[in-house]
A and B are shown apart, each in its own frame.
Chain A
Amino acid sequence: TQLLEQSPQFLSIQEGENLTVYCNSSSVFSSLQWYRQEPGEGPVLLVTVVTGGEVKKLKRLTFQFGDARKDSSLHITAAQPGDTGLYLCAGARGETSGSRLTFGEGTQLTVNP
């Protein structure tokens, strides 16, 4: 059973465009994280959201956690080629399974100059 579904799977856009990627689940998560992974490297943590409805900004990236803590979105404004990478969301469920993150399959973003 796929607990976290990310959409779209692939996205190719031109530099300067805006985009939104989504991370959806039928399960409630105590927190959710977004990572970016570049070719040949491991995922790099971008942000952690904990509270339902929470919005966090990281320069041109805006992350939102759904009110019910079942979904999240990542919006990028004026995308740049350096934003290219695999964007992964990961959810954590409760303290007893706090060491376990459930990952989505990722959204592969390509920003063309």
Chain B
Amino acid sequence: ETGVTQTPRHLVMGMTNKKSLKCEQHLGHNAMYWYKQSAKKPLELMFVYNFKEQTENNSVPSRFSPECPNSSHLFLHLHTLQPEDSALYLCASSLRGLSYEQYFGPGTRLTVT
């Protein structure tokens, strides 16, 4: 595997379900990010981890819970989501937190029913 991978690629969940999104980067980077991409909106930064420490939480509702066990893996735990949370969730990584060049995974297309 190379680059940034995300699983699953597609997820349909009910509002009462609990699920997790997984991201893995094989680039030797130290910073990882979660973004939300909705139709007709700019990418929204959700969380930033730099050397496994969360450095930014962009006012994200608590129904989204990130976890970064090491510099190569990032999870987004989901519970009691709302239909408006349906979107493409993108993971990205960069060499370090101050590096502007971010490399994205293919995303997880999430549909909340």
Contact = CB atoms under 8 A, between A and B. Distances in A.
Interface stretch (A11-19, A43-51, A53-61, A75-83): A43-51
B98 A101 contact: no
B41 A48 contact: no
Contact of B102 (A4, A40, A101, A102): A101
A35 to B, nearest CB: 8
Contact of A44 (B40, B55, B91, B104): B104
Contacts, number: 61
A88 B72 CA distance: 26
Contacts of A42: 4, 6, 90-92, 104-107
A98 interface: yes
Contacts of A99: 31, 33, 48, 50, 55-56, 94, 97-98
Given A99-B50, A100-B45, A43 B104 contact: yes
Interface in B1-30: 4, 6
Contacts of B107: 40-42
B61 interface: no
B103 interface: yes
A4 B100 contact: no
A18 B77 CA distance: 44
Contacts of A84: none
A92 B48 CA distance: 15
27 contacts: A30-B100, A33-B101, A35-B104, A41-B106, A41-B107, A42-B106, A43-B43, A44-B104, A45-B101, A45-B103, A88-B43, A98-B97, A98-B98, A98-B99, A99-B31, A99-B33, A99-B55, A99-B56, A100-B45, A100-B56, A101-B45, A102-B42, A103-B43, A104-B42, A105-B40, A105-B42, A106-B42
Interface of B: 4, 6, 31, 33, 40-43, 45, 48, 50, 55-56, 90-92, 94, 97-107, 109
